[in-house]
């Protein structure tokens, strides 16, 4: 008996999250013997609970091509935490809705917290003896999901960061007067995005001269020594910092002035460490200082997306559907690098409990120079992820995107 499948998106978007959605839709529609309709949750599980659903099977071929190049979450996102108690009334409501829509498989595209939703729904289904498959499709620019080699979304974010930091470095080099530019990048607990700034360098000693990430405690005293040494080498210094850098006591640098806010999952909402460091450097060295916060641009720049990332995001979505139709549930799609020359991936699954509410830090052994630089191992790891430029459909000189009506 044919069933319908359901897909939702959750958490912070990426430049390629819709490529994963495309993969789910395309693979579902390519299996008419198993799948009747592909439905989408509008604003994730939270919107689904409110009855906001759309029939994705009605999208035209042109719509799907545009979807694949559209950044942000086409279906809309949410940050909604399901109760720990699997007897909570919300679960009965959810499974009643699944049954009324004849859902045979549900896919959730997201990061750590989204996998928590997949985990709870799959465990609840087992308790209730429901035959619905729940599969997580990985997504996050933070690249902090365990088990998988890397996460769709990271390659494009890394490419954007490297390209933009390169442009900032060129801009900073035009004047002879001493100046410091501090670039703040995303990364609450993991420095993967900030590490991508190392890809901007074209020769040894090129900017950014200093890179700081959350994996190594940040020392203001050491920071001043590093800046002083950098300024003695050249007049224009570019420094890249993760938003989540913290001191040896665990206090975030962004908390040196104001307390960070807390989101619904209990995570501190961090911003502003570059601005704080700007004041410290200006007062200490009496030089021109500028702070730059790249903010959401890191996750929504489609024009600088990586073609490899787009393809891998799509493959992750297709793999999720394939595995669900084989009867798998309570799993997340993973990728592994095959040994041997060249770069090739193999897609598989891991128990979602191995992923949800856990984080993969940047390898400390890849961090050098007393915590202020990145070693060559990272370049070998990251370069394959940023390769290629996807074709873009343009309109009036601008990229054309698919907007939900």
Q: Name the DSSP letter for residue 387.
A: -
With 0-12 / 13-18 / 19 or more C-beta atoms within 10 angstroms meaning exposed / middle / buried, residue 260 is middle
**Distance between CA atoms of 400 and 257, rounded to whole angstroms?**
42
Confidence grade of residue 256 (pLDDT, cut at 50, 70, 90): confident
- Domain membership of residue 378 (yes or no) is no
Binding-site residues for Mg(2+), in ranges, read: 112
Cβ within 8 Å of residue 300, ≥6 positions away: 13, 15, 71, 72
Q: Return all residues near 331 (Cβ < 8 A) that are at least 6 apart.
A: 135, 136, 323, 349, 350, 351, 352
Query: What percentage of the chain carries pLDDT values higher than 90?
Result: 92
The reported pLDDT for the residue numbered 264 is: 55
- Asked if 285 and 345 sit in the same domain, the reply is no
Domain containing 135 — which CATH number? Answer: 3.40.50.450
pLDDT for 263 equals 53
| pLDDT score of 267 more than 90 | no
Q: What share of the chain is helix, strand, coil (3-state, %, to 5)?
A: 40, 20, 40
Together in a domain, 306 and 333: yes
Q: Bridge partners of 337?
A: 345
Mean pLDDT of the chain: 95
What pLDDT score does 40 carry? Answer: 98
Which of 164, 54, 43 minimizes the C-alpha distance to 101?
54
Q: What does the pLDDT look like over 351-399, one tens digit per residue?
A: 999 999 899 999 999 999 989 999 999 999 999 999 999 999 999 999 9
Is position 382 within any domain?
Answer: no
**Whose CA is closest to 6, among 69, 95, 82?**
95
One domain, residues 290 and 339: no
The annotation places the binding site at 12, 112, 140-142, 186-188, 243
Mean pLDDT confidence for 130-149: 97
How would you list the strands of the sheet with 3-9, edge to edge? 53-55, 35-41, 3-9, 103-110, 133-138, 331-337, 345-351
Matching residue, tokens 């060249």: 342
225 and 276 together in one domain? yes
- Cα–Cα dist 229/224, whole Å: 9
Both 99 and 181 in one domain: the answer is: no
**Are 131 and 183 found together in one domain?**
no
Q: Is 142 a catalytic residue?
A: yes
**pLDDT given for residue 185 in this prediction:** 97
User: Among the three residues 356, 381, 399, which one is the final residue of a domain in this structure?
Assistant: 356
**180 with 279, same domain?**
yes
**pLDDT by residue (tens digit) across 270-317?**
558 999 999 999 999 999 999 999 999 999 999 999 999 999 999 999
Are both 25 and 115 inside the same structural domain?
yes
Q: Does the CA dihedral 86-89-93-96 come out positive or negative?
A: positive
Per-residue pLDDT tens digits for 313-349: 999 999 999 999 999 999 999 999 999 889 999 999 9
Residue of 113, 142, 226, 309 marked active site: 142
- Mapping DSSP to helix (H, G, I), strand (E, B) and coil, where does residue 295 land? coil
Q: Are residues 291 and 305 in the same domain?
A: no
In a domain, 389, yes or no: no
pLDDT at 341: 87
Vertex 259: Cα angle to 370 and 157 (nearest 5): 55
Please indicate, yes or no, whether residues 171 and 40 belong to a single structural domain of this protein: no
At 149, is the pLDDT very low, low, confident or very high (cuts 50, 70, 90)?
A: very high
Q: What is the DSSP string of 193-204?
A: HHHGGGGG-SST
Asked whether the CA dihedral 84, 85, 90, 92 is positive or negative, the reply is positive
For residue 210, what is the domain's CATH number?
3.40.50.460
Domain that holds residue 62: 1-139+301-356
> At residue 257, does pLDDT exceed 80?
no
Going by the annotation, the residues of the binding site for substrate are 140-142, 186-188, 243
Which two tokens mark 12? 């912070």
Question: Across the strands, what pairs with 247?
Answer: none
pLDDT at 269 over 60: no
Say whether both 234 and 121 belong to one domain.
no
Q: How many CB atoms lie within 10 A of CB 368?
A: 14
- Can you give the pLDDT at residue 259? 46
Band (254; pLDDT cuts 50, 70, 90): confident
Predicted pLDDT of residue 188: 87
The number of domains in the chain is 2
241 domain-assigned: yes
User: Which residues belong to the annotated binding site for diphosphate?
Assistant: 12
Peptide bond between residue 208 and the one before it cis (omega within 30 degrees of 0): yes
What confidence score (pLDDT) does residue 64 get?
98
Q: Terminus-to-terminus CA distance in the chain, angstroms?
A: 32
Q: Is 147 inside a domain boundary?
A: no
The arithmetic mean of pLDDT across residues 155-179, rounded, is 96
Q: What is the mean pLDDT of residues 138-150?
A: 97
Is it the case that residue 102 has pLDDT exceeding 60? Answer: yes
Please state the rounded mean pLDDT for residues 168-195.
Answer: 95
Determine, yes or no, domain membership for 118.
yes
Q: At 104, phi and psi to the nearest 5?
A: -100, -25
Q: In terms of domains, do 173 and 37 share one?
A: no
CA atoms within 13 A on the CB side of 312: 34
Is 385 within the bounds of a domain?
Answer: no
Say if 387 falls within a structural domain: no
Q: Which phi and psi angles does 7 have, rounded to 5°? A: -135, 145
Q: Residue 260: pLDDT above 50?
A: no
Residue 253 has pLDDT above 60, yes or no: yes
């Amino acid at each position: 008996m044919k069933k319908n499948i359901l897909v939702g998106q959750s958490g912070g978007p990426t430049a390629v999250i819709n490529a994963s959605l495309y993969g789910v839709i395309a693979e579902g529609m390519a299996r008419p013997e198993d799948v009747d309709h592909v439905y989408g949750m509008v604003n994730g599980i939270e919107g689904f609970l409110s009855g906001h659903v759309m029939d994705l099977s009605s999208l035209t071929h042109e719509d799907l091509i545009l979807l694949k190049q559209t950044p942000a979450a086409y279906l809309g996102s949410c940050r909604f935490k399901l109760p720990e108690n699997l007897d909570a009334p919300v679960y009965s409501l959810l499974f009643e809705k699944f049954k009324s829509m004849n859902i045979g498989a549900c896919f959730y595209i997201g990061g750590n917290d989204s996998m928590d939703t997949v985990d709870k729904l799959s465990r609840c289904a087992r308790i209730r003896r429901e035959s619905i498959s729940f599969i997580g499709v990985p997504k996050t620019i933070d690249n902090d999901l365990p088990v998988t080699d890397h996460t769709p979304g990271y390659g494009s974010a890394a490419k954007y960061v490297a390209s933009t930091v390169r442009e900032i470095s060129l801009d900073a080099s035009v004047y002879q007067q001493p100046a410091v530019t501090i670039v703040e990048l995303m990364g609450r607990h993991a420095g993967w995005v900030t590490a991508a700034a190392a890809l901007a360098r074209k020769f040894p000693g090129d900017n950014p001269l200093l890179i700081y990430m959350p994996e190594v405690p940040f020392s203001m005293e050491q920071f001043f020594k590093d800046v002083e040494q950098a300024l003695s080498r050249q007049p224009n210094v570019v420094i890249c910092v993760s938003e989540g850098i913290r001191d040896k006591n665990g206090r975030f640098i962004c908390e040196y002035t104001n307390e960070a806010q807390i989101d619904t999952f209990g995570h501190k909402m961090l911003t502003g460490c570059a601005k704080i460091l700007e004041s410290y450097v200006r007062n200490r060295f009496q030089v021109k200082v500028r702070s730059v916060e790249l903010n959401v641009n890191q996750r929504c720049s489609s024009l600088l997306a990586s073609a490899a990332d787009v393809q891998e995001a799509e493959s992750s979505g297709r793999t999720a559907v394939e595995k669900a139709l084989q009867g798998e549930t309570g799993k997340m799609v993973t990728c592994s690098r095959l040994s041997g020359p060249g770069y090739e991936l193999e897609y598989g699954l891991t128990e979602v409990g191995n992923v949800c509410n856990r984080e993969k830090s940047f390898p400390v052994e890849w961090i050098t120079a007393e915590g202020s630089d990145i070693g060559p191992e990272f370049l070998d790891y990251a370069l394959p992820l940023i390769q290629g430029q996807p074709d873009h459909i343009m309109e009036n000189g601008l990229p054309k995107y698919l907007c939900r009506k």
